Amino acid sequence: MFPGKCIAHVFHLLLFLTVTKMPELVQSAFCCVNNPAGVSSPKETFLSRKPSIFHDDDAAIQSIIYDKPPGATFTPASDIFKIHWSGVTVGEAKQRIRNQPGHVLVKATHISILPLARAHLDFSRTGGIDTGAKDLGLPATAIGDEAAGECVTRVIASNAEGYEVEDLLYIPGAVFDYRVVRADGQNLQSKRPPTKLPPGVDPTVYLAAFTVPGGVTAYLASEHSNVAKVLAAEQQARAASAETRGVPAPTDSDSPPVVLVSSAAGAVGLSIGQLYKMKGYFVIGSTSTRAKAERLTTEFGFDAAVAYQERDVGSEGSFEEGLRAAASEANGNHNGLIDFFVDNVGGEQLDTALRLMKPQGKVLTIGAISEMERYSTGNVRGCKEYLRIPARELLWGGFMVSAHLQLVPEAISKLTQYVAEGKLKTAATVKRGTLETWFSADDEMHKSQGFGRTILELM
């Protein structure tokens, strides 16, 4: 789980170092994924259009900031955040950088819509919960602070060596339309130079495939979380035991571990489900609609998928029965139980999964997006089925990217390889509009109306 915008900033540093160390491999992968199956985008792609540096000199330089705490139920983004004018126009900024060597003026072309924007708001005025960010040295987003986001930008004016007009740059940490950036990155929280996108890389692919709130978190959680490592060790021991006894080692097709991934059509869930398929596991995805469930199985290789919105989560039968039936499809799994649950949602879906866990099963919590709208009051639903943990001797652990930042280069290297080989597909739901469109895009993401990464393309 990515706990705060500072994580994106540290990731920016590691991404910069990694890409410069293996440009040929990264470039190869990016060329392979400019139009992968599963990416929702217009037929006319961003890269197929002539690069445009058109801008209005009278336009205000703006960003999205945290304005007031959300309510006790779902609150539209426009009631939490607002557009803030910096007091400077684009024309004024252009004039300034002419006398400021080492500066560039960029215009955002794509903004990644992140759950993070709501995840760690300061709720001190409402008596809300502490989401744990402060324990990691990550201050909550205070009122007046910029909303968390990631931007791909185009240089529209440059007075900096190494940055040319029309260059595409990746700038994590905030949501904005225009920004003056120092070439050395010292006016960015990352304190690192902006990263150039490799030539020919579509920004939607870049944001969907290789940033922390997607593939990087999925890879590190599947390889380096404590729970995932225990699961992997058990599978290795199982094979070694068979060899010692002189019998054929059990294969994944004989009786593969059953993995359930919640929010499987989200940026993290979509990637981690495919990563466990690569390991030979039987992977079930839970998602909001049957249309998404069908895409998970037909386009992204999931063995089964269950739509919770159309099966009434938590009721007797319905969603739970659907999950049990899906798990029963795995060879040798006649009781329809789950070995490993990767949870991105929490709440009722967590309780449902706990009722279906095998004895000595494992649960990995990466996120709890269903609780997010309750953070402001502190009245979170929580887990009701926790007695299943001792009763079935379950192992439950969490994952936080900040504890594994030194491994991000490994993640980028592996993800690049998987994408280049066609083993890992990405998806993005692209919405076109202006900075003001960010509010509705954020609402739609939290209402599960997208597939994969939700991205705003600024027009």
Task: Indicate yes or no: pTM above 0.85.
Answer: no
Q: Is the pLDDT of residue 139 over 90?
A: no
Fill in the amino acid letter for 364: L
Is the CA virtual torsion 305, 308, 313, 316 positive or negative?
Answer: negative
**pLDDT (tens digit per residue) in 34-78:** 444 344 444 567 776 767 677 889 999 999 999 998 877 889 999
Q: Is the pLDDT of residue 367 over 80?
A: yes
**pLDDT (tens digit per residue) in 314-337:** 555 589 999 999 999 997 777 899
- Residue scoring higher pLDDT (199 or 105): 105
Give the pLDDT score at 87. Answer: 94
- Residue scoring higher pLDDT (18 or 436): 436
Among 106-110, 180-184, 251-255, 433-437, name the one with the lowest average pLDDT. Answer: 251-255
Question: Are residues 168 and 197 in contact, defined by beta-carbon separation less than 8 angstroms?
Answer: yes
Q: Label residue 223 by pLDDT band (50, 70, 90).
A: very high
Domains contained in the chain, CATH given: 11-212+426-458 (3.90.180.10), 226-398 (3.40.50.720)
Q: Label residue 453 by pLDDT band (50, 70, 90).
A: very high
Measure Cα distances from 88 to 59, 67, 95, 96, 378 in Å. 9, 20, 11, 10, 39
Give the pLDDT score at 128. Answer: 64
Nearest Cα neighbor of 119 from 261, 6, 225, 210 is 6
- Residue scoring higher pLDDT (344 or 247): 344
Among 1-5, 261-265, 413-417, name the one with the lowest average pLDDT. Answer: 1-5
Burial 279-307 (b: 16+ CB within 10 A, else e): bebbbbbbbbbeebbebbeeebebbbbbb
Give the pLDDT score at 227. Answer: 97
Helix, strand and coil content of the chain, in percent to the nearest 5, comes to 35, 20, 40
Concatenating the DSSP letter of every residue in 357-405 gives EEEEEEEEE---GGGGGGTTTT-----S-TTHHHHTT-EEEE--GGGGG
Burial 230-254 (b: 16+ CB within 10 A, else e): ebeeebeeeeeeeeeeeeeeeeeee
